[in-house]
Structure 1
Amino acid sequence: MIGLFVGFGLLIGILFGFFGMGGSFLVTPMLLVIGYPAPVAVGSGLAFVFGTSVIGALRHRDHGQVSYTLAAVMILGMTFGIEVGTRIVFLLADLGGADFVISAVYVGLLGVVGLVVFRDARTDGTEVGTGRVATEVQSIALPPLVSLPGGATVSVWVILVVGSSIGILCGCLGVGGGFLLLPVMVYGFGIPTAIAAGTSIFQISITGAFGTFVYAQSNAVNIPVVAALLVGSALGARIGASATRLVNESDIKGYFAGMLLAGSVATASKQVSAVYGIETLETASVVLIFVTAVLVSAAVVHTSVNSFRKDREDGSPRTH
């Protein structure tokens, strides 16, 4: 089992460094599927987020892909939200409905965000729709305002509200919020995808530390599991972060959507198997999570290698 967690950590590390997500959107459902209690799955997911995000943030910093101003404001909002979300989880656990509620929210969020990003990737950017959302967000000119990479100017109050909302979900679901932060920054604030990924990782390192501390106080963090996952992810995060400089932006969105949709289907299968006692579905949910992580990680590495070779043949490095 430890070897399995190390291997899974390597795969998640690659995806984490590539997408700017801590990987807990896969780790937490995986632990739920295996049979860990909801608070432990959530707490361990946040602890894993903290460890991987520190590694990935350093790598993205080296590439100049972090907006520290945006990260600082978002962290303030998310820290407050995580505290609220954590209290909600333990309240649901006391009422006996934590597993079902958390899984149901996972299915809905991963599915909706995954479909939106997939549609955007298939249409090569949907600049009209993306631009409309960013324009509406930027039209809320309530001072003070913050200038962001890509030329956008957004109200600090808007960022705080968004950060608090995502923080509540992070505290409830045991995620760093990367699968929500990335779309918000790209579609809502108009930030380039690579910078959004780096900024997401940086702020997740801070909020993940806070969330881990809160859950650890209630002994809801499985240290051996987290340690095994971190061993594998240490190398994977550096590989994934480097890959963002080599892969086309629409490809990044496509891989991202695939991971979200797979997580949604796997979590849904687990819940259906629990309700109706269909063991085949429970097995299928575990297999789906692992197979998807393997396939997408392999695709990321393969595409990066091909892009690197092409750049060397052309004699000019690509920048995204």
Structure 2
Amino acid sequence: MKDLYNSLMYAARAHAQWEIETSFNIIKNRKKLLVLFIMALPLLIPAMAHAASTLPGFIGGKSAFGPSFFSPTTFYGSIAVGIIAGLITGCIGAGGGFVITPALMSLGVKGILAVGTDMFHIFAKAIMGTTLHKKMGNVHAGLAIAFLVGSGLGVTGGGVINRALFNYNPIMSDFVISSIYVVLLGFLGIFAMSDFIRTKKNAPKVGGDVHGSPEKMTGLGTKLQSINLAPMIKFDEHVVPGGRRISGIFVAICGAVTGFLASILGVGGGFVTFPMFVYGLGISTATTVGTDIFQIIFTAGYGSIAQYAVYGYVFYTLAMGMLLGSLFGIQVGAITTKVVPGTQIKAFYALAIMAGFVNRLFALPEKLTQMGYISLTAAAGAIITKIGVWLFFGLVSFFGIWIIGTFIVNIPKLRAESVEDYNAKGGVSQ
């Protein structure tokens, strides 16, 4: 279980690094900022003018096929959610995407809309600021093609199931999505907290990568690579003389699992790609990271557009709000890592994950009552849900205020370090 957690965290860090590079690429490019402004203008002005409740359906208003009540508060909340997710990604170096869907659902957005909107937000950021060219040396064409074939099937299946559940019973749809997040965030939260405690006891390890990337082949990887099932794909020639070989069928199955979970949860899917590739198939970490970043763009694009947007399950206004918020959060978070103690960051990350877990857990009683499975007064169910919402936003807001406050207080120190770096490089801007 510890190895599984370590692999999940390594995958989260790889995805976070891609997000950081992508965000900086957008911020530093004037043309992309102009495109972002043009894209945002027709969406943001009505929301900021407090006319959001009457937005037309095609940009995510009440008349969309899968309606979700929209208010200016929801829009501003989406910006706050983006900032928090960006701070987690930039400051901690681990994916903040796990909190986005639960946070949107806490703001009153239906589960299926939260999933579709989150996927669209990932895709929009990817196509605007992708730094994929930096990773292309680690992308294996054969593995990527086999993976994307399976991923396409998985995303389609996840989208079909999500839409079918919503059409059958919107409350059940929310319940299923919340339940999956309870299991996922509960697992990650417990191990994140234990990782913080372990790191605190071993202070010399702070600042290093305590989630190492295993390169040794596992027994399962050795066994699967010994099965000669066409088509066979050769890879990792840079790791092992002569390379390794694996059946494309196994790679496609991994892609299907990743695509399915990504489509159900509204995330990039990298958190399952890494353990399956490294521990299951015996693929090196470098090849896994490169291929994972490559697949996220296509998985999020196909899922958000073909499975959600065309059916009216994407809130473009909220996606834009999250994108703007995350760009700010990632910049501040990435810079603040220079002055924030690593152990404190780990503690807040663990708390953020546990907050998401409690938030979705506390939402379940009300959903079960509405579906008639348990007997609970409507008032009691609503109170339990609200407690979960306040706990979640209270904890993540405290985290956000602490990081931003630390950044502001240390601006003089950060400026001094920037000048020193500039002078050390001979006064030449890089």
Give the TM-score of the pair, scaled to structure 2. Answer: 0.57
Question: Which digits, 9 at most, give the CA deviation of each residue in 1:24-46, with x for residues without a partner?
Answer: x3222222223222322221121
> How far has the Cα of 1:95 moved from its partner?
2.7
Cross-structure match for 1:282: 385
Q: Distance in 1 between matches of 2:300 and 2:189?
A: 23
Q: Is the 8 A contact 2:221 2:279 kept in 1?
A: no
Question: Which digits, 9 at most, give the CA deviation of each residue in 1:203-234, with x for residues without a partner?
Answer: 32221111111211111111211111112122
Q: Distance in 2 between matches of 1:238 and 1:48?
A: 17
- 3-state DSSP of counterpart to 2:103: helix
> How far has the Cα of 1:258 moved from its partner?
4.7
Cross-structure match for 1:107: 182
Q: Is the 8 A contact 2:77 2:107 kept in 1?
A: no
- 3-state DSSP of counterpart to 2:285: coil
- 3-state DSSP of counterpart to 1:144: strand
Q: Distance in 2 between matches of 1:118 and 1:71?
A: 34
Moved more, 5-14 or 288-297: 288-297
Cross-structure match for 1:270: 363
1:48-197 to 2 correspondences below 5 Å: 48-54=121-127, 57-58=130-131, 67-69=138-140, 73-96=146-169, 97-116=172-191, 119=194, 122=198, 125=210, 135-139=218-222, 140-141=224-225, 142=227, 143-147=232-236, 155=246, 156-181=248-273, 184=276, 189=283, 191=285, 196=289
Cross-structure match for 1:225: 318
Moved more, 26-35 or 70-79: 70-79
Q: Distance in 1 between matches of 2:331 and 2:237?
A: 25
Letter in 1 for 2:175: F
Moved more, 83-92 or 38-47: 38-47
Cross-structure match for 2:104: 31
Q: Is the 8 A contact 2:78 2:318 kept in 1?
A: yes
Identity, % of aligned positions:
26
RMSD, aligned α-carbons: 4.6
Q: Is the 8 A contact 2:220 2:279 kept in 1?
A: no
> How far has the Cα of 1:5 moved from its partner?
1.9
Of the three residues 107, 115, 125, the one matched with 1:42 is 115
Q: Is the 8 A contact 1:28 1:42 kept in 2?
A: yes
Moved more, 218-227 or 147-156: 147-156
Which stretches in structure 1 are left out of the alignment for 5+ residues?
none
Question: Which digits, 9 at most, give the CA deviation of each residue in 1:226-254, with x for residues without a partner?
Answer: 11111212233455577899999999887
> How far has the Cα of 1:90 moved from its partner?
1.5
Q: 1:259 to 1:185 in 2, by over 3 A?
A: farther
Q: 1:30 to 1:115 in 2, by over 3 A?
A: same
Letter in 1 for 2:138: S
Cross-structure match for 2:309: 216
Q: Is the 8 A contact 2:159 2:263 kept in 1?
A: yes
Q: Is the 8 A contact 2:88 2:95 kept in 1?
A: yes
Q: Distance in 1 between matches of 2:398 and 2:284?
A: 29
Letter in 1 for 2:269: G
Of the three residues 71, 78, 81, the one matched with 1:5 is 78
Question: Which digits, 9 at most, give the CA deviation of each residue in 1:160-214, with x for residues without a partner?
Answer: 222211211122222222443455567665627xx84x76454322211111112
- 3-state DSSP of counterpart to 1:217: helix
Q: Is the 8 A contact 2:332 2:404 kept in 1?
A: no
Give the TM-score of the pair, scaled to structure 1. Answer: 0.73
Letter in 1 for 2:389: V
Q: Distance in 1 between matches of 2:77 and 2:317?
A: 12
Moved more, 10-19 or 168-177: 10-19
Q: Is the 8 A contact 2:139 2:291 kept in 1?
A: yes
Q: Is the 8 A contact 2:151 2:260 kept in 1?
A: yes
Moved more, 158-167 or 81-90: 158-167
Q: 1:289 to 1:210 in 2, by over 3 A?
A: farther
Larger relative contact order (CA 8 Å, sep ≥ 6): 1
- 3-state DSSP of counterpart to 2:218: helix
1:234 aligns to 2:327 (yes or no): yes
Larger Rg: 2
Which stretches in structure 2 are left out of the alignment for 5+ residues?
1-72, 200-204, 370-375, 425-430
Q: Distance in 2 between matches of 1:287 and 1:148?
A: 52
1:261 aligns to 2:350 (yes or no): no
Q: 1:163 to 1:301 in 2, by over 3 A?
A: farther
Letter in 1 for 2:114: A
Moved more, 148-157 or 8-17: 148-157
